[in-house]
Amino acid sequence: MNTLEGKIASIKTNGSLSLVTINVNDILFQAMIIETPDTVSYLKKTNPVKVVFKETEVIISKGDGCELSIPNKVTGNISTIEKGVLLSKIIISTAVGDISAIITSDAMNEMILQIEEEVTILIKTTEIMLSQ
């Protein structure tokens, strides 16, 4: 599980859904959640909040990811690779801290990912949970 600490920068609400923007070390993350400021007390601008997402939901790109429909992007450098038979774990050090990604070993081999290489990690807004 990846957990980043940030502050709520803005909240857009429609019906029971909210798109929450969180500032983590000056990098903005967006999370789509089924909560509104009326249903949970922590949904307030400038409130501290944790951005939580699973390693298996992290996408790794060698490009900048701009052509994709994924708003959450962070660049960083690969610091560790742990190779498994089917799955491999990659740790990327970024401006928001270390982020772990679990991808298939096939994908890793095809992309020829290497230690210290610069990559962009991407996470969909619907994969991010918020926690107090």
Partner 1 sequence: MIHIALQKQLIATNGVMLLDIDIEIKEGDFVTLYGDSGAGKTSILRMIAGLMTADKGYVKVNDRIWLDTKNKIYVKPQQRRIGYVFQEYALFPNMTVKENLLFALEKGQDKQIVNELIELVELGELKNRKPDKLSGGQKQRVALARALVRKPEILMLDEPLSALDHSMRSRLQDYILKMHKQFNLTTILISHEIGEVIKMCDNIFVIENGRIIKQGNPIDVFTSKQVSGKFQFSGEIVEVKREGIIYVVTVLIGANFVKIVADKSDVKTMTVGDKIIVASKAFNPLLQKIN
Q: Which residues bind partner 1 (CB under 8 A)?
A: 1, 31-35, 40, 42, 52, 54-56, 82-89, 100, 102, 126-132
Alpha carbon dihedral 116, 53, 70, 56, in 10-degree steps, equals 70
Nearer to partner 1, 3 or 64 (CB): 3
Q: Please report how close the Cβ of residue 3 comes to partner 1 at its closest, in angstroms.
A: 10
Nearer to partner 1, 88 or 120 (CB): 88
Q: Please report how close the Cβ of residue 60 comes to partner 1 at its closest, in angstroms.
A: 15
Q: Please report how close the Cβ of residue 63 comes to partner 1 at its closest, in angstroms.
A: 25
Please enumerate in sequence order all residues whose Cβ is within 8 A of that of 88, keeping only pairs 6 or more positions apart, or say none. 81, 82, 102, 103, 104, 105, 108
Give the span between the Cα atoms of 39 and 96, in whole angstroms. Answer: 29
Q: Please report how close the Cβ of residue 118 comes to partner 1 at its closest, in angstroms.
A: 23
Q: Could you tell me the strand order of the sheet in which 87-94 lies?
A: 59-61, 118-123, 72-82, 87-94, 97-104
Nearer to partner 1, 34 or 66 (CB): 34
Nearer to partner 1, 65 or 127 (CB): 127
